[in-house]
Amino acid sequence: MYALCLALLFATPAPTTVGLGLTVAASDGAPVVDRAWIDARVERANAIFAPVGLRFAVAWVRPAPPTVPARLITRADRHATGATLRPDVVNVYVAAHLEDIHEPGRVRRGVHWRPRRPKGSHLVIVAAYSGEHVLAHELGHFFGNPKHSATPGNLMSYTRADGLPTLDAGQRRNIRAHLRRFLRTGELKRVAPPPLKAPAAP
């Protein structure tokens, strides 16, 4: 009985799947990323967040409206992404280019941003040239981890290590708490889990 209690205490929680809604900027008339780029980063995020019991499924991918810049240079450019937001999902904007608003000319790969409108809204912005872990890193911010970590290999650190990025106990608690709050308030809704990938042929 004691062993069973321990197993239940430390068991990975049953996964909760939420949707990602991606708005993709265009450059020279073509989307700045393709579906393979998106799927690879979502798959990596799912592997990283698996110990937390959180999964992501792509709900939709659509082109950016003409009012939203493909290149996000200024604060106003970032605020314009508020026009892309839709309910029930984690909104993601894939930009052609992203710069630091405090250090002009400094290139950024991703950011968790709160547009001026709609009030209280937030989204993840990633650049088309961002690496495979950047979406997951910004999702870590979205789900309640605003601070960066000094631990190499931690998802919220800028210093990579071998293997998948990890989350510490406090970060996992923050993610679970924010997920519960987002579901309770209706900001996010559960969706069907993404289909399992077929194993590679031998």
Q: Taking 90 as the threshold, does the pLDDT of residue 201 lie above it? A: no
- Residue 165: phi and psi, rounded to 5, are -60, 150
* pLDDT in the model for residue 132: 97
Residue 53 within a domain: yes
Residue 63 within a domain: yes
- CA–CA separation, 21 vs 59, rounded Å? 5
64 Cβ contact list (under 8 Å, min separation 6): 23, 24, 25, 26, 70, 84, 93
Q: What's the rounded mean pLDDT across residues 112-126?
A: 97
* pLDDT in the model for residue 195: 73
Residue 175 within a domain: yes
The alpha carbon torsion through 189, 190, 194, 196 (nearest 10 deg) reads: 170
* pLDDT in the model for residue 172: 98
Has this prediction a pTM greater than 0.75? yes
What stretches of the chain adopt beta strand conformation (E)? Answer: 16-24, 26-27, 30-31, 54-63, 71-72, 90-95, 97-98, 110-113, 123-127
Q: Are 167 and 142 in contact (CB under 8 A)?
A: no
* pLDDT in the model for residue 197: 65
Residue 5 within a domain: no
Residue 200 within a domain: no
Give residue 46's domain range: 14-185
- CA–CA separation, 110 vs 98, rounded Å? 7
Q: Taking 50 as the threshold, does the pLDDT of residue 6 lie above it? A: no
The residue written with tokens 């508020």 in the block is 82
* pLDDT in the model for residue 3: 56
Q: What's the rounded mean pLDDT across residues 4-19?
A: 66
* pLDDT in the model for residue 192: 92
Report residue 99 as tokens.
């710069």
Q: Are 76 and 38 in contact (CB under 8 A)?
A: no
> Of 45-49, 161-165, 166-170, 197-201, where does mean pLDDT reach its minimum?
197-201
The residue type found at 99 is E
The alpha carbon torsion through 190, 123, 107, 78 (nearest 10 deg) reads: 160
> How many distinct structural domains can be found in the chain?
1
Cβ atoms within 10 Å, residue 166: 17
Residue 197 within a domain: no
Residue 169 within a domain: yes
Q: Taking 50 as the threshold, does the pLDDT of residue 170 lie above it? A: yes
Report residue 133 as tokens.
């872990």
Cβ atoms within 10 Å, residue 3: 7
Residue 99 within a domain: yes
* Portion of the chain with pLDDT greater than 70, in percent: 90
CATH of residue 84: 3.40.390.10
